[in-house]
Structure 1
Amino acid sequence: MKKCHIAYLACTAALMGTGLGAAPPVADHTVHVVHPGESIQKAVDAAQPGDTVLLTHGTYHESVDVSTPGLTLRGVGRGTVLEPAAGASTAGTATSTAPSTAPSTGSDASKGSKGTKAATSCAASGNGICVVGTKDHNVDGVTIASLKVTGFAKTGVYATEADGLTVRRVTAEKNGVWGIATEQSVHGLFHDNTARDNGDAGLFLANSVKEELGATDTEGTVVEHNRLEGNRIGVTVRRLRNLTLAGNQLTGNCAGVFVVGDENKPKAGFVTVRDNRIERNNKSCPKTARLDALQGSGIVLTGAEDSLVTHNVIKDNVGKSPLSGGIVLFKSFVGTTSDRNRISDNLLRGNSPDLVNTDTGKGNTFEDNSCRTSKPAGLC
């Protein structure tokens, strides 16, 4: 099929000399090569589980739905760019202050197969790349890699009901709501991405923004070595459990990291935030219907339990918000306390103040942190 469909054998069983047995049979996989001006969606729809859709250098004006398990959608780096199609709504017309606004997965979400209205509605509603499964059947093992998504009204890369999603070396920039976002997903891996100047969170991970549900166990999702800058919030973890944020760099946001829970059961928690560098998140963002004005927040925990914040470097986060400070334990707006969280072995300098605890929860500990100022006094 000319440029759009180039097949190759990923592995070939072979005899390697006298006395050596044949290698175990391995399924053949196809690489579908797409060039600017050709349809990414057609290549994705033609792909089988385990295939790769490779986007060459250039700009593509398209949104894409992925529901094929094991598919890899990969570019060649920042030179592969996805932008909205001509006439589509752009980030400039989107409401950037509504983290409760989820990308629509459509009224036919129960279908969930390739080419359904469910998948189409996600991309058509203002998102760049959509990975969409269903409550009855997750889409498994999808990888999005080595490309840039920019200017979409809602989210650059959005996934729901995904198991084992990998997003790596993706730049998500100037999207109206989120840079990269997931809901109701498990076993995710997000690494070496850049999320910059998005309307809400650079990385947003949640159970659901449309339903009042207890926190979801992500079964070990990892967010590591990402760069988050210029967003409203660098990383938001909302109503989730069993997740790690490690080795990320967050700067120039209104707030660096938010771990958010509420009154539902189970509570959010068992989140580890470690070895991150969080500096100068002093952009000013106005109050929204869900959240007070933000400025100068490094890490905020609210309505969370049994979480660990450790070995982070947190510097020069200064603002006038009730949530300002290097590490802040803040009582949730629905009155849920944070309990049994451990804040230890962090280096904090120049924050206003370094440590804050306005929560009335039980069992929270601040120990062995290198810091100078706290509210109330005595936490350092």
Structure 2
Amino acid sequence: MNKRHIACAACITAVVAAGIGAAPSTPQATVHRVQPGQSIQKAVDAARSGDTVLIAAGTYEQSVDITRSGITLRGDAAGRTVLEPPASPGTSACAEAGNGVCVTGTDKKPLKDVSVRSLTVRGFAKNGVWATGTENLKVRSVTAEKNGQWGIAAERSTRSVISHNVTRGNGDAGLFVANTVDTEEGARDAKKTVIRHNETAENRVGVIVRRLRNLSVDHNEATGNCAAVFVVGDESKPRAGHLSVSWNHVHANNKYCAATPRLPHLQGSGIILTGVEETRVAFNRVENNKGASPLSGGIVLFKSLVGMPSERNDVRDNLVTGNSPADLANRDTATTNTFSRNTCTLSEPAGMC
């Protein structure tokens, strides 16, 4: 190689090195650590997409409002990191509404990829965790207890994963998912939202799914509620349905809850379908749910509150025993629902076991 070639090679090496040096660097995710006595909200406000707000063990009298995508809010562990209502509810919009953790997006600009995990939310006047307008929300390993309305709730949300949580002693539902709570409209596509591996006990209702499509409720345990799983639809279009309720253990949901303007009293209700279509209820173990409500029984089909029948639902391969007044109860008016291969003792009408 002559001197000219050597000089040229050196130039190429310099240009490549300069190009490498000029390449933009990938932003690094940041962990924002919060200790007892510090503000969780300040850490959340400082976080950017991809960051984690890590809350040390302790009890925090605070509410937290997440309004930016890609944030992870994580405690040390449920039972060790505890959020309780602040003394002054005006500290944030979330606290003002009576909620513990709020994840707040909109239909036009949903919050994406937010995660809430490994903490306890206790004693809030309204909801423990409240999410609206989200996509790919994950709520995992959260204990939501003794909140006034819902333990963990989401509306206007798609592709949510609500898993491995404990909800107990909440005023209405332990787990609540819906199309919207403030407008009347047809069922929304939840886009494969999943509610799985949760434990729900001593609430009014363990799990409520209201006016949604394309969602699964599987591998949950519900006990000690007035009703375990309540799948709700009505006459609106699109109809609620195209859902799956499977592999759940539903037992002894025999707490008594008084009637409301919209519902009779509740007691001893396992899995209820009302006003929904094309829903599969399969491979569940439903035991010892006993009561005298029109909605009591192991697996119950019931027309909606406005008289809309449940249609083309498939109830099969369930173990349903020890429930009263019936293991399987078809109290609907439609003739298109099917019951097959269920193990049970008493059905209403007779002949379905």
Would you say 1:37 and 2:37 are equivalent positions? yes
Would you say 1:356 and 2:329 are equivalent positions? yes
Q: Deviations over 1:101-142 (max 9, x none)?
A: xxxxxxxxxxxxxxxxxx943332100000000121000000
Q: Deviations over 1:61-100 (max 9, x none)?
A: 01110011010000011200000012549xxxxxxxxxxx
Q: Distance in 2 between matches of 1:26 and 1:372?
A: 63
Partner of 2:86: 85
Of the three residues 182, 185, 197, the one matched with 1:213 is: 185
Partner of 2:14: none
Q: Distance in 2 between matches of 1:209 and 1:276?
A: 26
Q: How does 1:1-380 map to 2 (within 5 A)?
A: 26-77=26-77, 78-88=79-89, 120-352=92-324, 353-380=326-353
> 1:369 corresponds to which letter in structure 2?
N
The DSSP-based 3-state class of the residue aligned with 1:332 is coil
1:262 Cα deviation (Å)? 1.0
> 1:354 corresponds to which letter in structure 2?
D
CA contact (8 A) 1:72 1:143 kept: yes
> 2:329 corresponds to which letter in structure 1?
V
The DSSP-based 3-state class of the residue aligned with 2:152 is strand
Q: Distance in 1 between matches of 2:25 and 2:233?
A: 48
Identify unmatched segments of 5+ residues in structure 2.
Answer: 1-19
Identify unmatched segments of 5+ residues in structure 1.
Answer: 1-20, 90-118
> 1:30 corresponds to which letter in structure 2?
T
CA contact (8 A) 1:275 1:312 kept: yes
Identity among equivalent positions (%) equals: 56
The DSSP-based 3-state class of the residue aligned with 2:49 is coil
Q: Distance in 1 between matches of 2:286 and 2:41?
A: 42
> 1:65 corresponds to which letter in structure 2?
D
Partner of 2:8: none
The DSSP-based 3-state class of the residue aligned with 2:42 is helix
Q: Distance in 1 between matches of 2:25 and 2:312?
A: 51
Q: Deviations over 1:20-49 (max 9, x none)?
A: x9xx96431100000111000000001001
The DSSP-based 3-state class of the residue aligned with 1:43 is helix
Q: Deviations over 1:187-223 (max 9, x none)?
A: 0001100000000000000011211110010000001
Q: Distance in 2 between matches of 1:256 and 1:230?
A: 10
Partner of 1:92: none
Equivalent residues, number = 330
Q: Distance in 2 between matches of 1:197 and 1:372?
A: 31
Q: Distance in 1 between matches of 2:297 and 2:216?
A: 22
Structure 1 pair 46–347 and aligned structure 2 pair: CA distance change class (3 A): same
1:147 Cα deviation (Å)? 0.1
Greater Cα offset, 287-296 or 341-350: 287-296
CA contact (8 A) 1:338 1:362 kept: no
Q: Distance in 2 between matches of 1:140 and 1:123?
A: 22
> 1:324 corresponds to which letter in structure 2?
S
CA contact (8 A) 1:250 1:279 kept: yes
TM-score, normalisation: structure 1: 0.85
Q: Distance in 1 between matches of 2:94 and 2:84?
A: 15
> 2:32 corresponds to which letter in structure 1?
H
CA contact (8 A) 2:63 2:92 kept: no
The structure with the greater share of residues assigned to helix is 2
The DSSP-based 3-state class of the residue aligned with 1:305 is coil
The DSSP-based 3-state class of the residue aligned with 2:151 is strand
Greater Cα offset, 49-58 or 25-34: 25-34
1:307 Cα deviation (Å)? 0.3
